[in-house]
Amino acid sequence: MNIQLFSKNALVGGATQGIGAGIAIELAKCGANVTVMSRSEAKLQNFTDSLPIVHPDQKHEYLVADFSDFESYKTLITEYFNSHTIDILVNNTNGPEPGLAMEKNVDDYQKAFDLLFKTVCETTLRALPHMIKQNNGRIINVSSLSVKEPINNLALSNSVRSAVMAWAKTLSNEVAQYNVTVNNVLTGYFDTERIKNLISHEAQQTHRSADEIKKARENKIPMKRLGRPEEYGHLVAFLASDYSSYLTGANIPLDGGLNNTY
């Protein structure tokens, strides 16, 4: 299978590190023109310059975006789509702060909703008119296994990601007639800064070492290791390609088998 995304334009959120970076790199390797979004312009510049170029017409860009400030993000993404069209949208944002359900208040949930739901919805609705017009498009949401089984200490993420999953399934049924696919990837444990931060937070709460907590997580995974960002990129590249043209409305676990152990 040779995935070629030449002449395809992709927009990838949270793309200067971790899973987002792994996705952007793989899409670029397949020939897509990739626009990456993140908060730090310095990191975006360095990362964009490092993205693979596999054919002369390929071009990569970046967009400085703060997902945690929805109103400014809405203005930014509106301006972007006034002058750009995309064929592949990867909705990926930084996750909300960890914490227990009883620790969080209504304002915390509203902020998480703005971060995880409203940004995804706004970006997708801006991208869809072109996809529908050309009768082809790919929307891929970076989600979490927590939509199947809530993860302890992630009350905000557990709640809002489930809403995104239900919305995405509803949307997939509406746009399937235009050959636009909408799929969610249910993320397991990957070797990223996010997982390191979560482990550090758990270590502080439980007075256990970070190494002990990491090892315990790995032992729960049938493959006995954390995932690598490039492995995530491989799946997204497939979902972005013509090989996945009949796959939509799916929630795909990417977790080294962990989903099957619940």
DSSP 8-class letter at 51: S
- Residue of 260, 246, 237 lying closest to 23 (CA atoms): 237
C-alpha–C-alpha distance, residues 119 and 159, integer Å: 16
Higher-pLDDT residue of 151, 139? 139
- Domain containing 179 — which CATH number? 3.40.50.720
> pLDDT tens-digit profile of 209-229?
999 999 988 999 999 999 999
Please report the pLDDT score of residue 201 as a whole number.
Answer: 79
Domain identity same for 38 and 78: yes
Length of the chain equals 262
The mean pLDDT of 34-38, rounded to a whole number, is: 97
153: in domain: yes
Range of the domain at 175: 9-188+229-254
Domain identity same for 182 and 199: no
pTM for the structure as a whole? 0.93
The mean pLDDT of 166-183, rounded to a whole number, is: 98
DSSP 8-class letter at 117: I
> pLDDT tens-digit profile of 45-71?
999 999 999 999 999 999 999 999 999
C-alpha–C-alpha distance, residues 193 and 37, integer Å: 17
Structurally, the chain folds into a number of domains equal to 2
DSSP 8-class letter at 148: T
Token pair, residue 139, equals 């929307």
